[in-house]
Amino acid sequence: MPDTIRTILPTIADGTTSIEGAFLSAGRGLSQGLSAFRSLTDSLAALGDDIDRGGTAAASHQLDRLSRMLRGVAERLPADGTLLRDLLDGNRGMRRKFDDLVGDMRMMVVVSRSARLEAVVSDEQRASLEEFSRTIDHQIGDAQRRIDACVSQHGGATTLLERSAREHLAFDDAYRDKLVGLAAEFDQALDAMASRRDAGLAFTAEAAARARGIAQAAGLALVSLQVGDNTRQRLEHVTFALERADGLDAGAGGGEDEPDAAATADLLCRVAEAQLRDTVDTFDGEASRILDTFAMLGREAATLATEGRATYGNDGGGTASFVSEFRARFAAAMGIVAACSANRLAVERATGALRSMLAPLDETLTTLVTTSEDLVIVAMNVGLKAARLGSDGRGLVTVAGELKRLASQISLDAVALLDAFRGVRGTSDAFGSRTGEDAAAASLEGEAEAILDALASADTRIVAVLGTIDRIGRDFDATVGDAIGAFEAVAANTGALSDAVDSIGSVRAPATRDGAALAAAAEAVDGLLLPIYSMARERDVQSALLDRIAPRRGASAPQGAAAEAGPANGAAIRLDAGRERAAGSGARPPAMSGAGAAFAAAGRDGSARKLAPAADDWEEF
C-alpha cells in the first residue's frame, strides 16, 4: 500500500495546483468582466438619455423644422410667381395711367396759358385768370415734377421686377421639384430617425438590462468559484489522510498493536477514497455549471455587440453612427435654404425699389386729387364770369370749360392711379409680409453649426459606446477562452483524480476485525480528521462512511477539542499531544502520538506533515 499511496499523492497535488490556477485565472477574468459590464451599464444609460433628450433628439426637432420650411418654400413658389405676374400687370397698368395723367397735366398747363391770352379782352377777368393760371402752373407743375420723378423711378423698378420675374421663373424650374423631393426625403429621414431613435431607446434599455444581467451572472460566477477553494481544501485533507495512512503503515512492525494501526490506516484510506470521490463528483458538477455560465456570458457579450451594430451601424455595417448619415443631407438642405434666400433677396430688391418709388406717390396723388377738385370749381367760376361778357367772353368760356374738363380728368386719373398704386403696393407688401418665416429660416441657418456639433457629439458618444461594447466583447471572449482552456486542463486532472479514487479502493480490502477494534479505529480517524475539516460536507461524508463500517462505535470525537481514543485490543491511541503541538507552533497539520501506541510516530520520517489549516483558520475565507 505505501507505494500505491506515494504514487497517488503527486496526482492529487497536481490536481490541487491545476484547480487552484484555473479558478484563480477565471476569478481575475470575471472580476475584470464584472467591472467592465458595470461601467458599460452606466455608459448605456447615458447614451439612452442622450438619444431621448440630447443631441439626437434636438437634431430630430431641427430636421422636422427644416422639412416643414422646405415644403413651405416649395408650396409658396407658384404663389410667389403669381404675385410677381400680378405685380408686373399692375405695374404696366400704372404706367398707362401715369402716361394719361402726365398728358392731361401737360395739356392743362397749355390751356392755362391760353386762358391768360383770352383774359386780355376783359380787364375785369384778367386778374382772376392770371391768378388761376399761376395756381395751375404752381400746383399742377409741382405735382407734375414729382410724378415725372416717380415715372423715372418706375422705369427702373419695372426693369428690376421683370428681371426678378425671370429669375424667379428660373428658380422655380430649377428648385421647386428639388425642394419637394428634398422635403419628402427629410420626411422619410425623420421617420427613419424616429424609428431608429425608438429602436435605440429600446436597445439601450435592453442592453443595459443585459449588461446588468451579465454583471450579476459574473458576480454569481465569482461566488461559485469558491468551489475551487473548497476543492483545494478537500484535496489537502485527502492528502493528509493518505499521508497518515502511509505513516501508520510504515510504522507498523507486526506487534500486537499492528491490527489497530492497520485498521486505522485502512479506515483512513477508505475515508480518503470517499472524500476524494465526493470531491471529484462535486467539482465536476460545479465546474460544468461554471463553464455553462462562462459560455452564456460569452454569448450575451457577443449578442450585445451584434445588436449594437445592427441598431447604430450604417448600411455598410461600419462604426459610424446612424445620425452621421444626416449630416450631408443637412448641409445640402442649408444650401437650398441659401438659394431660397438669394432668390427672395432678388425679389425683395425689386419690390423694395418699387415701394421706395411708390412711398411718396401716395401723398402726391392724394394732394393732386384735392387740387384738381379745387381747379374744377375755379374753372367753373371763371366760365360763369366769362359768360357775363357776352361775345367778348366767348373764347374765355371755351378755355374755362376745357380747364374744367382737364381738371376733372386729372382728378379721375389721379384716383385711378392711386387705386392702381395701392393694389401694387399690397402685392409688393405680400413679399415682405413673411418676415417671421424669413427669420425662422435665418435662425435655422444660424443653428446649423450647433446642430452639426450636436450630431457629431452624439456620433462620438455612440461610436465610443460601440467601441466599448466591442472591446469588452473581445476581452471577455478571450477570458472565456482562457477559462475554458484552463478548465479543460482541470478536467484532465479530475480524470486522474478519478483514477486515484479507484487506486485507493484497490489498495487492499479491510481485514475482518471485531467491533471493538473497528470502533477504536473509527475514533482514531475522527480524532485525526474532524478537527481539520472546514466544511460540513466533509463531516457528513466521513460520518456516513464510519457509521456504516463501524456501526457500534461511540460518539465521534469532539471537533476542535483534545480527545483521547479508548484502548482497542489492548492498544491505547492518544491524539491530543499532536493537536497541542500544531496549535502551539502554528503548523497546519495536527500530529498524532501516544505512549504505547503501535503508530506513535505519525509520519514516515518521524516528523509531522503539513496539511490544510485547522477549522478556526478557515474563517478568513
Residue 73 vs residue 574, higher pLDDT: 73
More confident residue, 241 or 329: 241
Reference 132, options 411, 401, 379; nearest CA is: 379
pLDDT for 185:
78
Residue-wise pLDDT tens digits, 87-104: 788 777 777 887 888 888
The pLDDT, as a whole number, for residue 542 is 94
Question: Tell me, what amino acid is at 102?
Answer: V
| Cβ atoms of 12 and 190 closer than 8 Å | no
Tell me what the mean pLDDT of segment 557-571 comes to. 33
Could you give the CA distance from residue 59 to residue 321 in angstroms, rounded to a whole number?
A: 14
Residue 126 scores a pLDDT above 70: no
| 611: nearest Cα among 227, 247, 223, 224 | 247
Q: What's the rounded mean pLDDT across residues 235-260?
A: 74
| pLDDT of res. 240 | 94
Higher-pLDDT residue of 440 and 577 is 440
Quote the mean pLDDT of the chain: 72
Give the three-class secondary structure for 477: helix
User: What integer pLDDT is reported at residue 34 of this predicted model?
Assistant: 77
36-62 confidence digits (pLDDT tens): 777 877 877 777 777 777 666 666 777
Cβ atoms of 455 and 60 within 8 Å: the answer is no
β-strand partners of 568? 571
Phi-psi sector, 550: left (phi>0), alpha (psi -120 to 50), beta: beta
> What's residue 95's pLDDT?
79
- The C-alpha atoms of residue 606 and residue 621 are separated, in whole angstroms, by 31
Q: Crossing angle of helices 2-53/258-312, nearest 10°?
A: 20
Q: pLDDT at position 481, please?
A: 82
For residues 527 and 557, is the Cβ–Cβ distance under 8 A?
yes
Supply the pLDDT for residue 586: 35
Highest mean pLDDT among 94-103, 247-256, 276-285: 276-285
Query: Mean pLDDT highest for which of 27-36, 233-242, 455-464, 555-564?
Result: 233-242
pLDDT of residue 128: 66
Q: How much of the chain exceeds pLDDT 90, in percent?
A: 6
pLDDT at 580 exceeding the cut of 90? no
Please state, in angstroms and rounded to a whole number, the distance separating the CA atoms of residues 248 and 503: 18
Residue predicted with more confidence, 238 or 92:
238
Q: Name the β-bridge partners of 573.
A: 565
> pLDDT grade, residue 579 (50/70/90)?
very low
Q: Which residue has the higher pLDDT, 387 or 589?
A: 387
The model's pLDDT over 391-408, given as tens digits with 9 standing for 90+, comes to: 766 777 887 788 788 888
Report the alpha-carbon distance of residue 97 to residue 85 in Å, rounded. 18
DSSP reduced 3-state for 481: helix
The mean pLDDT value for 343-369 works out to: 75
Does the pLDDT value for residue 4 go beyond 50? yes
Of residues 228 and 555, which shows the higher confidence score? 228
Residue 556 pLDDT grade (very low, low, confident, very high; cuts 50, 70, 90): very low
- With CA atoms as reference, report the closest residue to 346 among 140, 80, 611: 80
Average pLDDT over residues 285-304: 80
Residues 6+ apart with CB under 8 A from 140: 105, 108, 109, 112, 371, 375, 410
pLDDT of 354 over the 70 cut: yes
Q: Which range scores top for mean pLDDT: 480-494, 497-511, 512-526, 594-608? A: 512-526
Strand extents, DSSP E, 511-587? 564-568, 571-574
Closest Cα to residue 534, out of 245, 290, 240, 221?
A: 240
pLDDT tens digits, residue range 322-350? Answer: 556 666 777 777 777 777 777 777 777 77
Asked whether the predicted pLDDT for residue 595 surpasses 60, the reply is no
